[in-house]
Amino acid sequence: MAYYIGVDIGGTNLKTGVVDEKGNIISEFSVPTGADRPQDTVLQDIIGAIKNSIENSKVDLKEIRAVGLGSPGAIDTENGIVIRNYNLGWKDFHICEKISAALNIPAKLANDADAAALGEVVAGSAKGAKSALIITLGTGVGSGVVINEKIFPGEFGHMVIAYNGRKCTCGRRGCFEAYSSATGLINMTKEAIEKNPGGILAETAKLEGAVSGLTVFNAADRGDETAAKVIDEYLEYLACGLANLINGLLPEVVSLGGGIAKQGERLLAPLRVKVEREVFKGLKLPKIVTCTLGYKAGLIGAAMAVRNF
Amino acid sequence: MAYYIGVDIGGTNLKTGVVDEKGNIISEFSVPTGADRPQDTVLQDIIGAIKNSIENSKVDLKEIRAVGLGSPGAIDTENGIVIRNYNLGWKDFHICEKISAALNIPAKLANDADAAALGEVVAGSAKGAKSALIITLGTGVGSGVVINEKIFPGEFGHMVIAYNGRKCTCGRRGCFEAYSSATGLINMTKEAIEKNPGGILAETAKLEGAVSGLTVFNAADRGDETAAKVIDEYLEYLACGLANLINGLLPEVVSLGGGIAKQGERLLAPLRVKVEREVFKGLKLPKIVTCTLGYKAGLIGAAMAVRNF
């Protein structure tokens, strides 16, 4: 049997694991990233963590074919270089070359969101789908397109859906991310509170100490109509962006991940109705579900991305 | 050598041709579609036109591997059925089955815009590109994505770029098509004339008898600042939609076709500047060019779509 190493380079933790060719994790290992240290010091920890996960797996080194690294930031997949990783302060880091040399195993880089998307397709919510779209609704919005278990590079989180709309962190205005991220929902919640400072939503926020992505759901649970309207508006924008991508990419499955997706069917049920209204008439609707692998998606996907390497 | 038949099912003309495996047209034949006739009568003309183009090509029938049909409307590519073609009044038309039976050659359907996109990649403006995005700026906006000479189904013409914006023919609001089609440009021109009925733009429209996609360019040629502003606004929306797709799909080449693309560098030069401003920083910009094959793109692409059939 062939095995692959998956590495998820996070801002907080470095996760490594040995994964079999079907996407099962045989062993995993995690260390704090220590992002304030020089890149070559962090590299030593990555190599150490990989060695640890190999040892724990009891898999013969000869059976390990490749190392797949999932990294955020700007990366050059062809040459295995992290061009820029703002969270870690990395710059022009030839990480694949160094890992290959240290372990004598070929190494390859993938975008971390793309790797997570591939993980969901190989072993999670979109298992078996010929084409899948994985959308992460976190601090930002990330997109991953996987067709025939192959990652398609590119990022739709900064697709403008509202020309001249809300300012986005990327510099454009009206991006999908500016509306459909947790940050977008928090901004919509804050605006609703400003307009109605004496309402249940405002009160809920006060009780919680700060507005989070959960505040509006908690207030809605208390029967607040303002909160229900904010959720509805949030879902309208999310459906708009999803419909753009469903019409354009015709995925079989759309999986939603990230903090907001934890709302599950409460989010999915009304979302499906809105998406159906927005997509081309007669189009076979994709399954719209939530991601199931959590942090393991990135680890499994990074490993699966090097299966044919 | 292997040859393929390309058929472009247009509302006005049916075009057929014999195409070699490199995308060279060996012979072509065209007849009026006669769209008001029953679908089986039109079918007989398609079969006749195919036979004529084979005869003219002097290619041995045995060397013809397959027939590729490019059709507008809703199609079922897997089963070779035109589900609905509004221009031709076709409904649930099992066209591939009938053509295969009549000619004893396998037949396959493709979307006409996708076929044209493939034509441009095999033999036109995007020749040799690993990934290309072909955008047609006509009455509507059509998109074709071709990766490794393979058509990716899906349509981005109705991607919403302006939430709650201009009403689109599809029922949604704010679609790329509502702004970047010739129709969108004509609407912007008319609105500018209404606001400034005594200006050069209004005068130009009056001289021309009606507002067309050219009016604003002709007025700009006469030094009209209002016209220049309309063109600039049109390009802002076009750049917005293109940047969404460039960030999301990372094409090597973007080719623009349709009536408006005839403006060539006058359109492309300012467009490139605006697109560069909108896409991710550090992204290698795709070449942005105009399509070169005209109507032949659909014919060549329909034939090339069945090369591996």
Q: pLDDT at residue A309 above 80?
A: no
Cβ pair B163:A237 closer than 8 A: yes
Cβ pair B249:A154 closer than 8 A: yes
Task: Report the gap between the CA of B113 and the closest CA in chain A (Å).
Answer: 13
Percent of chain B with pLDDT over 90: 89
Closest CA to A7 of A40, A42, A59, A36: A42
In this prediction, residues B68-89 reach a mean pLDDT of 89
CA distance readout (Å), B198 to A260, B234, B302: 54, 22, 48
Candidate from B143, B154, B243 with C-beta closest to A250: B154
Sort B156 into a burial class: Cβ within 10 Å, 0-12 / 13-18 / 19+: buried
Instruction: Quote the pLDDT of residue A85.
Output: 84
User: Tell me: the pLDDT tens digits for A58-92?
Assistant: 999 999 999 999 998 888 999 999 998 877 889 99
Closest CA to B278 of A153, A172, A163: A172
Candidate from B153, B155, B163 with C-beta closest to A161: B163
Query: What is the DSSP-derived secondary structure letter of residue B141?
Result: E
Q: What is the pTM of this model?
A: 0.93
- The answer to whether B282 contacts chain A (CB < 8 Å) is yes
Instruction: Quote the pLDDT of residue A72.
Output: 86
Cβ pair B282:A84 closer than 8 A: yes
Instruction: Quote the pLDDT of residue B45.
Output: 96
In this prediction, residues B15-26 reach a mean pLDDT of 97
- The answer to whether A101 contacts chain B (CB < 8 Å) is no
Chain A residues 112-151 with a CB less than 8 Å from chain B: 143, 147
The ipTM is 0.92
- B134 — pLDDT class (breaks 50, 70, 90): very high
- The answer to whether A169 contacts chain B (CB < 8 Å) is no
Return d(Cα A74, Cα B284) in angstroms, integer: 12
Return d(Cα B23, Cα B69) in angstroms, integer: 15
The mean predicted confidence, pLDDT, of chain A is 95
User: Tell me: the pLDDT tens digits for A18-60?
Assistant: 999 999 999 999 999 998 899 999 999 999 999 999 999 999 9
Cβ pair B240:A161 closer than 8 A: no
